[in-house]
């Protein structure tokens, strides 16, 4: 029986060759416990070519200065908070920062509304706790505690989803760089190299706002949407190619023209105006992020390959576009219908897309 391939290996596994080449060629000064120098971490994320000819693939398409600021923050004792609307690569950048710095992106806490302090601090093996009482063997460390002990980067996803009283468990960790364990009358002291990268969704404002005390412990960087149409098209094309590899979806099924058309629709609806600025359009409640564009094309690829002629066409993306735009059937359906009639219908070369989308309404 053949060994099944992993659908999505962790960054340090997927890009092991690049990280090895960077480690070998890196002559910069490395902070304590860092696998790479700050300059090499930025090269790993932004891409480049090494002196030995190794090509480092870009992981993030956006302002280089923004990544430099993120890396510089992690050199200091301040934690890093990446914010932005859904689909602005917050998690993606967080994972690759941890992989480049610590060689380990798996020390992850996924924030949820029902999370308790154990997920950020530590828990207990209750069978051992009942039989032996509180002991080091009975203690179950959280990813944050493990990162402190090993001098690595811990990641906290969706920070504003976590209840406020649980969020505040991070204050002592970030300010004192220690984690008290009163049951054992001891504490865990963070080793050099420890830091925290958190992400937060702008759309979650008002859910569980960060306290001022906790916010002061973070340096906040806002992750922007792609600045131009071509930049966003490049991102979608690149991610589609990567996502299609383990699923055996050939890149040729997604013509660049279809990707550009989808991205243009999303950008116009997001910005509330057509690309030429001549017409105002209503915006739906959905974010229509780059990540959603990737999802629509990816799903369309599968339809084209297995239920079509193998080439992505308007009929393959129509359902995905409609599903992405129409989140609120009352409000968004009206917005989408109006956009179809006033913009899509007037573009003669888009007749195939107009007809395919109209069939679904």
CATH number at residue 91: 3.40.50.300
Please report, in tens digits, the pLDDT of each residue of the chain (361 residues total).
Answer: 446 678 789 999 999 999 999 999 999 999 999 999 999 999 999 999 999 999 999 999 999 999 999 999 999 989 999 999 888 999 999 999 999 999 999 999 999 989 999 999 999 999 999 998 899 999 999 999 999 999 999 999 999 999 999 999 999 999 999 999 999 999 999 999 999 999 998 876 656 788 899 999 999 999 999 999 999 999 999 888 887 776 666 666 678 999 999 999 999 999 999 999 999 999 999 889 999 999 999 899 889 888 988 888 999 999 999 999 999 888 999 999 999 999 999 999 999 999 999 999 8
| Same domain for 74 and 178 | yes
Q: Establish if 17 belongs to a structural domain.
A: yes
Q: Establish if 6 belongs to a structural domain.
A: no
pLDDT at position 310, please? 84
Question: Among the three residues 205, 222, 239, which one is the final residue of a domain in this structure?
Answer: 222
Q: Establish if 3 belongs to a structural domain.
A: no
pLDDT at position 3, please? 61
Question: Among the three residues 193, 222, 251, which one is the final residue of a domain in this structure?
Answer: 222
Q: Establish if 4 belongs to a structural domain.
A: no
| Same domain for 203 and 244 | no
Query: What contacts 311, CB < 8 A, 6 or more positions away?
Result: 252, 253, 255, 304
| Same domain for 150 and 16 | yes
Number of domains in the chain: 2
| Same domain for 235 and 204 | no
Question: Among the three residues 169, 203, 222, which one is the final residue of a domain in this structure?
Answer: 222
| Same domain for 122 and 150 | yes
| Same domain for 237 and 173 | no
Helices (H), 245-275: 256-271
| Same domain for 317 and 184 | no
DSSP 70-102: HHHHHHTTSEEEEEESTTSSHHHHHHHHHHHHH
| Same domain for 189 and 316 | no
Cα end-to-end distance, the chain, whole Å: 46
pLDDT at position 250, please? 66
| Same domain for 244 and 188 | no
The parent domain of residue 185 ranges over 11-222
| Same domain for 192 and 251 | no
pLDDT at position 1, please? 40
Q: Establish if 353 belongs to a structural domain.
A: yes
| pTM (predicted TM-score) | 0.91
Question: Is the C-alpha dihedral spanning 301, 296, 45, 106 positive or negative?
Answer: negative
| Same domain for 249 and 214 | no
pLDDT at position 86, please? 85
* CB 304, CB 312: distance < 8 Å: yes
| Same domain for 173 and 299 | no
């Amino acid at each position: 029986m053949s060994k099944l391939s992993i659908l999505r290996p962790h960054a340090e596994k997927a890009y092991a060759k690049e990280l090895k080449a960077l480690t070998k060629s890196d002559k910069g000064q490395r902070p304590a416990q860092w696998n790479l120098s700050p300059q090499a971490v930025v090269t790993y994320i932004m891409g480049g070519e090494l002196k030995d000819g190794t090509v480092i693939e870009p992981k993030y398409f956006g302002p280089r200065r923004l990544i430099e600021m993120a890396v510089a923050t992690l050199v200091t004792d301040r934690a890093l908070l990446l914010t932005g609307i859904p689909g602005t690569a917050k998690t993606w950048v967080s994972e690759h920062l941890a992989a480049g710095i610590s060689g380990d992106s798996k020390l992850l806490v996924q924030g949820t509304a029902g999370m308790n302090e154990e997920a950020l601090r530590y828990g207990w093996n209750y069978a051992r706790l009942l039989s032996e009482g509180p002991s080091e063997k009975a203690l179950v460390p959280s990813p944050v505690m493990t990162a402190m002990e090993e001098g690595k980067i811990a990641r906290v996803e969706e920070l504003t989803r976590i209840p406020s009283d649980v969020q505040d468990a991070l204050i002592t960790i970030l300010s004192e760089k220690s984690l008290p364990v009163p049951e054992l009358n001891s504490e865990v002291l963070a080793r050099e190299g420890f830091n925290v990268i958190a992400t937060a969704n702008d759309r979650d404002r008002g859910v569980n706002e960060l306290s001022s005390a906790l916010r002061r412990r973070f340096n906040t960087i806002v992750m922007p949407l792609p600045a131009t149409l071509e930049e966003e098209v490049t991102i979608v094309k690149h991610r589609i190619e990567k996502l299609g590899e383990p699923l055996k979806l050939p890149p040729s099924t997604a013509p660049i023209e279809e990707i550009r058309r989808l991205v243009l629709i999303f950008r116009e609806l997001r910005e509330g105006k057509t690309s030429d600025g001549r017409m105002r359009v209503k915006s739906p409640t959905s974010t229509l992020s780059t990540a959603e564009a990737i999802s629509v094309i990816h799903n369309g690829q599968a339809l084209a390959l297995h239920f079509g002629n193998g080439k992505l066409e308007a009929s393959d993306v129509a359902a995905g576009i409609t599903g992405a735009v129409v989140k609120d059937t009352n409000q968004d359906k009206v917005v989408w219908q109006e956009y179809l009639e006033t913009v899509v219908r007037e573009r003669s070369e888009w007749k195939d897309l107009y007809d395919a989308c109209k069939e679904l309404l």
